[in-house]
Amino acid sequence: MYLEMIKFEHSIFALPFAMVGMMWASRATFQTPWPGWWIFSWIVVAMVSCRSAAMAFNRIADRNIDAENPRTKMRALPAGLLSLRQTNIFFYASCILFFVAAGMLNPLALALSPVALGVTLFYSVTKRFTWLCHFILGLSLGIAPAAAWIATSGKLQPGIIAITGAVLLWTAGFDIIYALQDIDFDREHKLHSLPEKVGKATALLISRLCHIWAIACLIFGGLNIGAGPIFYVGVGLAACLLLYEQSLVKPNDLSKVNLAFFTLNGFVSIGVFLFALIDQLVR
């Protein structure tokens, strides 16, 4: 029930990019892409606990809205599979574990941990007042590679910010596609999204522009960090996957939204990570 609530499988979106940030920071700091089990393990704990806290908070904040939406009414809280008390306990436990993990890494990671958690929690309320919610969600995932860099090296490298931008735009692009399903519900309940604001066709155009700029940011970030040619092969394959993803969804045909949202984006993040890993290992 808890795994269903937090959609654990969605960790596949941000975690691979965090691993890219970790490898690159380790190469810059220790001259090897592997920082050791201590750093790796606590980064994974921090990532999973932060995301778990954010998803639990989202379910708590949206429980009444989810109960009215046919697409979400079977989620754990509105369906009665978990109580509000159980969900609150899970939320606070996840927050505590996240702060412990940050403290086990280094002082800068601990000092910035409230900012990282605050960004991820803030997304849950943004649909109530702004159509920019997709980009705030993007930021909550986009900080993963920069956070992993800080966790590994104890400092921030400006070059990794471009990868944060890439993840932000990539996430915003696919979240806009996902929001197409709820355009009528959002209008009826006075919730905000880009499709609700500008319509399906324009929202899809903006989604495509986001994905074009995401690829550009990946290239720019790789150049700033000094990535090798294999990394750019992965970026090229990610571009092809995003092109295919965009071709699946049309304003008058949303039948393949789940394929575009879940499956292909998982391949994008894992693919970029694997090619970044190979690029590091062959050096």
Tally of CB atoms within 10 A around 184: 10
DSSP code of residue 82: S
Q: What does the pLDDT read at residue 75?
A: 74
Measure the CA–CA gap between 152 and 95, rounded to whole angstroms: 21
pLDDT tens string 77-100: 777 778 889 889 999 999 999 999
Mean pLDDT of 5-33: 84
Name the region of 231 (left: φ>0; alpha: ψ -120 to 50; beta: rest): alpha
Q: Across-strand partners of 250?
A: 253
What is the percent of the chain where pLDDT is above 70? Answer: 96
Give 189's pLDDT tier (boundaries 50, 70, 90). confident
Q: What does the pLDDT read at residue 11?
A: 62
Q: What does the pLDDT read at residue 5?
A: 47
Give 6's pLDDT tier (boundaries 50, 70, 90). very low
Measure the CA–CA gap between 281 and 283, rounded to whole angstroms: 6
Helix (H, G, I), strand (E, B) or coil at 253: strand
Which pair of structure tokens corresponds to residue 27?
């190469």
Whether 220 and 235 have beta carbons less than 8 Å apart is answered as no
pLDDT tens string 31-75: 999 999 999 999 999 999 998 999 889 888 888 887 888 877 777
Whether 30 and 38 have beta carbons less than 8 Å apart is answered as no
Indicate the helix (H) or strand (E) that contains 245: helix 229-248
Q: What does the pLDDT read at residue 108?
A: 97
Tally of CB atoms within 10 A around 204: 21
Q: What is the chain's mean pLDDT, rounded?
A: 91
Mean pLDDT of 9-33: 90
pTM of the model: 0.93
Please determine, for residue 272, whether its predicted confidence score (pLDDT) is greater than 70: yes
Measure the CA–CA gap between 164 and 161, rounded to whole angstroms: 5
pLDDT tens string 210-253: 999 999 999 999 999 999 999 999 999 999 999 999 999 998 88
- Better-scored residue on pLDDT, 99 or 9: 99
Q: What does the pLDDT read at residue 255?
A: 85
Please determine, for residue 282, whether its predicted confidence score (pLDDT) is greater than 80: yes
Handedness of CA 181, 182, 188, 191 (dihedral sign): negative
Measure the CA–CA gap between 271 and 283, rounded to whole angstroms: 19
DSSP code of residue 33: S
Tally of CB atoms within 10 A around 111: 12
Whether 97 and 51 have beta carbons less than 8 Å apart is answered as no
Domains delineated in the chain: 2-281 (1.10.357.140)
Q: What does the pLDDT read at residue 2?
A: 45
Measure the CA–CA gap between 123 and 51, rounded to whole angstroms: 12
- Better-scored residue on pLDDT, 3 or 281: 281
